[in-house]
Amino acid sequence: MPITEDQADGAIHAFYNEFPGLSGLNISHRPTQESFYGNKASIEAVGTIKGAFLPKRGEVHLPLANFRDVGDLRKSLQHEALGHFGTLTFTGSEKRDLLEVIIAARQSPSMKGDWAKVDKAYAGQSELMKAEEVFCLAAERIDGPPSKTADQAARTWSDVVQNKTRPLEREDLQTIVESVADGIRRGTREQQIFPIDDRSQFRKTAELADSLTEATAEAKAQLGPNAKTFPAQLAEGTYKGPIIAETEHHVLQQVSATNTVAHAKTAFAQAPTVDKTTALAVAYNDGAAVVKPARVQAVTQTKTRDLGR
């Protein structure tokens, strides 16, 4: 028997009281998933939806018919609000670095279980989207205050995400997720990423991957069959050279005789135009690309570490 509206209201009210940093989220419930999304989203058509987070709107949806009890609903609240919303309290580059570390750890014995669940439930989705779901599974396991101190959490972040001195383990991810939840609890973590729509983070990832294929083909057309294309590393690096081509989603910068770097157009306030005679310097600051005239006379050396990834 599904939980009652009064039970759901009480659980949501208690959740807001425990995590004041979620006051800007609109957490709502309806009797069924069809009452949120229409008959096209029936259980028969799309499977059981336990909860949904809509980042552009700042909404969490909870279909009451799909919960066994209040504890089950609470788990979904943690998944959607502390998990998905919690990832938006990082900067763009921090979130990307964290998700990439989670992806790199998919074969770790301590992480394989969560990855197996996510691979089964989200087959066909991007690795970044799956990595966020792994983060959210850790959010479901939160039970009270964090088990590690703030200093310990900061050291874990430094070791496994920032400096990558060791691979991420399940306990490390739990420490990071609990630290995020504690910041929301104490009101010290605020939203820093504001998606342009409810699916943009991951839909655009797939589109950009397709465009990288187009960029590689374009580079070969411009520079010959040995040309290689590398995606720009947004957290670091300055790339020097002319813009020699563009695709729907990228501009292509030549950085050596046969190497190009693909810059996402969305990273620029105004994407540079194709000009094969003028060298530019493209530098990244927290995921945003800044363009300046390059202090070089021609296509020149880009540091090896900028390309060898």
The residue ranges of every structural domain in the chain are 5-186, 200-307
Residues 6+ apart with CB under 8 A from 214: 247, 248, 250
Residues 6+ apart with CB under 8 A from 31: 2, 63, 64, 65
> CA-CA distance, 279 to 239, in Å (whole number)?
10
Give the β-pairing of 259-264 and 250-254: antiparallel
Lookup result for tokens 């609240």? 77
Reported as type and span, the H/E element at residue 157 is: helix 150-157
| Strand-pair partners of 253 | 243, 261
pLDDT at 207: 46
The CA-atom distances, in angstroms, between 64 and each of 43, 82, 158, 176 are 13, 19, 40, 30
pLDDT score recorded for residue 202? 47
Place of tokens 């939203």: 191
List, run by run, the mean pLDDT of 10-residue segments along the chain (309 residues).
92 98 96 93 90 93 96 97 96 91 95 95 86 97 96 98 96 98 96 76 46 79 89 75 89 93 85 93 82 65 36
What is the per-residue pLDDT for 251? 92
217-218-224 Cα angle (round to 5)? 80
- The pLDDT assigned to 286 comes to 64
Q: pTM of the predicted model, to two decimals?
A: 0.67
Model pLDDT, residue 184: 98
Write out the two tokens for 140. 């479901």
- For residues 26 and 58, is the Cβ–Cβ distance under 8 A? yes
CA–CA dist 202, 55 (Å, integer):
12
- For residues 88 and 275, what is the distance between their CA atoms, to the nearest angstrom? 36
Structure tokens of 13?
């009210």
Helix or strand or coil: residue 210?
helix
Give the right CATH number for 5-186 from 1.10.3470, 3.40.50, 2.60.40, 3.40.390.
Answer: 3.40.390
The answer to whether the CB of 205 falls within 8 A of the CB of 126 is: yes
Beta strands in 18-158 (DSSP E): 26-30, 52-54, 59-63
